[in-house]
Amino acid sequence: MSKVKVRFAPSPTGSLHIGGLRSALYNYLFAKQNGGEFLLRVEDTDKNRYVEGSVEKMQESLKWAGIEWDENIYTQSEHLDVYKKHAEQLIKDDKAYYCFCEPERLQKMREDQTATKQAPMYDQYCLKSLDKEEINKNLKNNCPYTIRLRIPENETIEFDDIVRGKVKFETNTIDDQILLKSDGYPTYHLANVVDDHLMNVTHVIRGEEWLPSTPKHILLYKAFGWDRPEFAHLPLLLDTNRKKLSKREMDVSVEDYINKGYIKDALINFVAFLGWNPGKGSTKEIFSLEELIKEFKLENVHKGGAVFDVQKLDWLNGQYIKNLPIDELYKLALPFLEQKEFYEKPSPQNPLPKGEGDKKEYIKKVLTVEQDRLNNLSAIGESNKFFFQDIKCDKKLLKWKDMKDDELKESLEKSKKVLNDNKNWTKESLEKELLEAAGDKRGELLWPLRVALTGEKKSPPPGEVAWVLGKDESIKRINSALEKL
């Protein structure tokens, strides 16, 4: 077999879609595991759908995900002459024909067909009714034209799809496709086939929505007399109601997930599972990119729609966050923290250290405490704002069950002493000493301490909270609780 060459061929119509990331990833994995090449081709021949800046954004998202392409990016609109030349070759070979039909005629034809419940299809007027002379006259007069592929009648197009197995289409159901538009731009079909051929693409791996285009492409390969690549069509992405993913209902662009604080390895891991899993007998769910390159198999991609379950993504993201070294987590989470109002506009009495170095250490401690419960980078600090703001603590909330004032006072004094006497101020020693001091009366000691330190009913264990806040701030908070009594 010749060297594997695959490509990701997005149209620049917006930011990178999750489905696009999956196509890119599967292509990339397949290339890497076969020692092949992975190309990036921008299919920008539809001027109406072009969105400024989307090529750059897509590149950014791919780079963020660690999907690197070989060679330079290939941009179709820079090669219009190539497509035109090929379309004209097909005319010479009688595989394609000029069509001078005006948009109004085509529209009327379609309306009539729809009214009589026929599938809208070009009626081949220009193929059947124009002779050479008329065609030449029209060309000479610069009449606008398109070039259409002549789809043969009564043929069955059959091919083996790596994912879907045998696929069949009847040519009678296929419209004479436009190959070259009146503005001189090729259509997707022509440009896609010509480029896949000229770039020696061996495998076309793309979303299932392109399956109906494949017989047209196969006919084009035949018309040119070229060998065709292998095809693999990836299953549709569905939401948890098994409906097609919709922009209106959920985030579908990779950028959204980046901005929401998903980490690259988790998103890649998740996307790899949209249509693939390691197969029977394996319960392994965490895969690094390297492991995916080893274990992913295109033949094991399933046909059935792949369900996008955000809860699963959150879980995976949490797993990855849990396993990050704290310095790495700090680096990834800081930009999210810096967007928070409670961080950017801290209250005057906030406990954040002023010096840059101390502040960094402090935030790392917050992250150490939050790490195991964080599903998302953007959730940093959200449920523990008391690490960044001064607190209001409610006297009633300080009491554990029906504690009396003097019992509460005693409890807080006891905690204060433990903290005061602690020598090395580690998370572990604080936890241990507090538990020892509490004995079998944990609620009595730890509840008031928690509320004094956080103002909240719920928080990480008070020993951990104290560890982050530091001795001075912790004692200060306990003292201000005591003042309320």
Active site residues: 247
Structure tokens at 293: 């390159």
Q: Does 61 bind ligand GLU (CB under 6 A)?
A: no
Its sign, for the CA torsion 289, 291, 293, 295, is negative
For ligand GLU, give the closer residue by CB, 206 or 477: 206
Q: Is the Cβ of residue 11 or residue 376 nearer to ligand GLU in the bound state?
A: 11
Minimal distance, residue 150 CB to ligand GLU, in Å: 22
**Binding to ligand GLU, residues 122-151 (CB under 6 A):** none
Span of 51-59, 204-212, 253-261, 302-310 interacting with ligand GLU by CB under 6 A: 204-212
Bridge partner residues of 232 (DSSP) = 205
Neighbours of 47 (CB within 10 A): 10
| CA distances, 174 to each of 100, 121, 178, 238, 443 (Å) | 20, 8, 12, 27, 74
The region of 5-13, 173-181, 265-273, 280-288 touching ligand GLU under the rule CB under 6 A is 5-13
Query: Locate tokens 């409670």: which residue?
Result: 342
- CA dist 480 to 47, 83, 146, 452, 454, Å? 66, 77, 81, 8, 12
CB of 41 to ligand GLU, least distance (A): 8
* Residue among 27 and 277 whose Cβ is closer to ligand GLU: 27
CB nearer ligand GLU, residue 18 or residue 363: 18
Helical spans, DSSP H, in 226-309: 254-259, 264-272, 289-295
Nearer to ligand GLU, 43 or 295 (CB): 43
CA distances from 76 to 15, 47, 116, 474 (A): 18, 12, 39, 63
Distance from C-alpha of 275 to C-alpha of 247, rounded to nearest angstrom: 20
Interface residue with ligand GLU among 9, 316, 445, 469 (CB under 6 A) is 9
Q: Write down the least CB distance from residue 398 to ligand GLU, Å.
A: 60
By the rule CB under 6 A, 221 interacts with ligand GLU: no
Half-sphere exposure of 470 (CA within 13 A, CB side): 13
Nearer to ligand GLU, 29 or 204 (CB): 204
By beta-carbon proximity to ligand GLU, the closer residue of 32 and 217 is: 217
What is the rounded distance in angstroms from the CA atom of residue 85 to the CA atom of residue 108? 31
**Cβ atoms of residues 233 and 214 within 8 Å:** yes
Instruction: Tell me which residue has tokens 């992405």.
Output: 237
Residues 285-314 that bind ligand GLU (CB under 6 A): none
Nearer to ligand GLU (CB atom), residue 201 or residue 430:
201
Q: Of the ranges 9-17, 149-157, 376-384, 456-464, which one interacts with ligand GLU (CB under 6 A)?
A: 9-17
Q: Tell me: does residue 45 bind ligand GLU (CB under 6 A).
A: no
What are the angstrom distances between the C-alpha of 116 and each of 39, 105, 110, 111, 176? 45, 17, 10, 9, 20
Name residue 161's amino acid: D
Total residues at interface with ligand GLU (CB under 6 A): 9
Rg (CA), the chain: 32
Q: Min. distance of Cβ 192 from ligand GLU in angstroms?
A: 5
Q: Rounded to an integer, what distance in angstroms lies between the CA atom of residue 286 and that of residue 320?
A: 9
Query: Which of these ranges, 8-16, 263-271, 399-407, 458-466, lies near ligand GLU under the rule CB under 6 A?
Result: 8-16
Q: Does residue 206 interact with ligand GLU by CB under 6 A?
A: yes
Q: Is 46 in the site for ligand GLU (CB under 6 A)?
A: no
Could you give the CA distance from residue 396 to residue 414 in angstroms, rounded to a whole number? 19
Among 16, 36, 38, 43, binds ligand GLU (CB under 6 A): 43
210 binds ligand GLU, rule: CB under 6 A = yes
Among 15, 192, 422, 459, binds ligand GLU (CB under 6 A): 192
CA separation for the pair 460, 381 (Å, rounded): 12
Strand ranges for 162-229 from DSSP E: 165-170, 178-180, 203-207
Identify residues 152-181 at the interface with ligand GLU (CB under 6 A): none
40 versus 419: smaller Cβ distance to ligand GLU: 40
The verdict on 10 binding ligand GLU (CB under 6 A) reads yes
DSSP state of 42: E
Looking at this protein, which amino acid is placed at residue 478? Answer: I
Query: Least distance to ligand GLU from the beta carbon of 8, Å?
Result: 7
Which region, judged by CB under 6 A, interacts with ligand GLU, from 4-12, 55-63, 106-114, 455-463? Answer: 4-12
Q: Name, in order, each residue with C-beta under 8 angstroms of 393's C-beta and a sequence gap of 6 or more.
A: 451, 452, 454, 455, 477, 480, 481, 484
Q: Taking the mean position of all CA atoms in its chain, how far away is CA 383?
A: 26
Residue 375 touches ligand GLU, criterion: CB under 6 A: no
Binding site for ligand GLU (CB under 6 A): 9-11, 43, 188, 192, 204, 206, 210
